[in-house]
Amino acid sequence: MTRFEGKTALVVGGTLGIGRAAAERLASEGARVVTGGREDDATLPGDVRDEAYARALVERCGGLDVLVYSAGVQRYGTVETTPPETWDEVFAINVRGAYLAARAAVPAMRERGGGAIVIVSSVQATASQTGVAAYAASKGALSTLARTMALDHARDGIRVNSVAPGSVDTPMLRWAADQFRGERSSDDVVADWGRMHPLGRVSAPEEIAAAIAYLASDDASTVTGAELRVDGGLLAALAVELPK
C-alpha cells in the first residue's frame, strides 16, 4: 500500500515501542517520517515537554500531513503514594507533550488544507486497574483532548482520533513486568497479563501501528473524534466467569 505517498508524518515518541512501529508502518506506505523523542536516534532528539522543541519538530517537517503522539511514561502509585513531582512528570510528558505537539501541528496542517492527528491513549482511560492514578488520569485526559480537538478543527479539515491499546509488548510493558516479576521471568509476567485478554496474549506494537495508520489515512476520511480500542477484547470482558 502507498496510502501516504507524498505525505509527511511526524511521530513524537517515534523511536520506541508503538511509536517506532507507527513510524515504520507510515514509512512503509510511502510517508516521509520525522521522529521526535529523547532518544539519540530520533530525527531531532529533544524534550517533548518543551514548546520550542515541538515547534522545531514541525519546522523540520517542512509541511505536515500526519501527527502521531506516542510519547509517554508509566508510574505506579495511588493519589496518596504518588509524589506531586511524579504526578507532574506523567502529565507533562503524556498530556502537555501532546498538547504542545498539536498546538504546533495544527497551523502547519491548516496550510496544507487539512491533516490527521492520532493520539496513543490506553484502555486505562476507560477502565483502570489499581495503583496507576497518574497514568490512568493522564490517558483519560488524552482521550478527551482528542475528542475536543476533533470538534475544534473539523472545519480546518483536520481529523483527530485516539487509539486505546490494552497490553502491548513494548519496553514500557517490559519495565512494568520487571517491577512485579519477583522470582519469575519477565516473559512469564507478560504471558500472564496476556491471558487476561480474551485473545489470550498481549498485542505486538505493529498491530497497534496498523490501527494508527488506518486512522491517519484517507480510508478513515469520515472518522474523527473516535477512540479505537485495540485491546484484544479486554474491555469487552467482565471479570466474572460462569462455573465450569
**Is residue 159 one of the residues assigned to a domain?**
yes
Q: Residue 217's pLDDT is what?
A: 98
**Is residue 243 one of the residues assigned to a domain?**
no
pLDDT tens for residues 137-160? 999 999 999 999 999 999 999 999
**Is residue 65 one of the residues assigned to a domain?**
yes
**Is residue 239 one of the residues assigned to a domain?**
no
**Is residue 164 one of the residues assigned to a domain?**
yes
- Decide the pairing of beta strands 158-165 and 44-45: unpaired
Q: Residue 244's pLDDT is what?
A: 73
Q: Residue 68's pLDDT is what?
A: 98
Q: Any catalytic annotation for residue 135?
A: yes
pLDDT tens for residues 41-82? 999 999 999 999 999 999 999 999 999 999 999 999 999 999
Average pLDDT over residues 195-224: 96
For residue 243, pLDDT over 80 is answered with no
Mean pLDDT of the chain: 95
Average pLDDT over residues 203-216: 98
CATH number of residue 48's parent domain: 3.40.50.720
Q: Residue 37's pLDDT is what?
A: 95
Q: Residue 239's pLDDT is what?
A: 74
Q: Residue 183's pLDDT is what?
A: 82
Average pLDDT over residues 76-101: 98
Q: Residue 242's pLDDT is what?
A: 72
Which cell numbers hold the place of 1?
Answer: 500500500
State which residues form the domain around 61: 8-233
Number of domains the chain contains:
1
**Is residue 3 one of the residues assigned to a domain?**
no
SS3 labels along the chain = CCCCCCCEEEEECCCCHHHHHHHHHHHHCCCEEEEEECCCCCCEECCCCCHHHHHHHHHHHCCCCEEEECCCCCCCECCCCCCHHHHHHHHHHHHHHHHHHHHHHHHHHHHCCCEEEEEECCHHHCCCCCCEHHHHHHHHHHHHHHHHHHHHCHHHCEEEEEEEECCECCHHHHHHHHHHCCCCCHHHHHHHHHHCCCCCCCECHHHHHHHHHHHHCHHHCCCCCCEEEECCCHHHCCCCCCCC
pLDDT band at 164 (very low <50, low <70, confident <90, very high): very high
Q: Residue 177's pLDDT is what?
A: 87
d(CA 13, CA 70): 5
Sheet strands side by side (includes 115-120): 44-45, 32-37, 8-12, 66-69, 115-120, 158-165, 227-230
Phi, psi of 203 (to 5 degrees): -85, 160
pTM of the predicted protein model: 0.94
For residue 181, pLDDT over 90 is answered with no
For residue 163, pLDDT over 90 is answered with yes
**Is residue 114 one of the residues assigned to a domain?**
yes
Single out the catalytic residue among 53, 69, 76, 135: 135
**Is residue 147 one of the residues assigned to a domain?**
yes
For residue 109, count other CB atoms closer than 10 A to its CB.
Answer: 24
